[in-house]
Amino acid sequence: MTTLIAHGGHWLLNIAYFLPVVGFMAWLGVTQWKERRKRTERQQSPDCERSDPPS
């Protein structure tokens, strides 16, 4: 177990390279999910229905 911990510094620092990408993916997921929700709400709103051409 000593060896595992002794070399942990290498691992942690290597993993640090990925943190910005993980943060970017999280931000991307949240913003795109919000955007999709807004789009869905717009499509379902009464304004949208009124803008449809009369049949």
Partner 1 sequence: MTLPLAHGIAQREDLPIPLALFVFGAFVVLVVSFVALAVLWREPRLEQDRWRPLPDGLGRVLGSRPVEVLCGTIGVALLVLVVAAGFEGQQTAASNFAPTFVYVVFWVGLVAASVLLGDVYRAFNPWRAIGRAVAFSSRLVARGDLPPPLEYPRRLGMWPAAAGLLAFTVLEIVNSTPDDPSTVAVATLVYSVAMFVGMALYGVDAWIDRGEGFSVYFNLFSRLSVFETRDTPGTGGVLGVRLPLSGLTSLRPAPGLVAVVAVMIGTVSFDGFSEQQAWVDVGGKLGDLFGSLGLSSETAFEASSAVGLAVAVGLVLGLYRLGTAGMKILDDRNRAGELAVSFAHSLVPIALAYVGAHYLTLLAFQGQAIFYLASDPLGSGSDLFGTAEVAISYFLGATLIALMQVGLVVSGHVAGLVLSHDRALTVYSDRPQLAVPSQLWMLAVMVVFTIVALLLLLAGNG
Closest distance of CB 16 from partner 1, Å? 9
The least distance separating partner 1 from the CB of residue 15, rounded to whole angstroms, comes to 10
Instruction: Report helix, strand or coil for 1.
Output: coil
In whole angstroms, give the CA distance from residue 22 to residue 7: 23
Q: Does 5 bind partner 1 (CB under 8 A)?
A: yes
Task: Return residues touching partner 1 (CB under 8 A).
Answer: 1, 3-14, 17-18, 21, 24-25, 28-29, 32-33, 35-36, 40
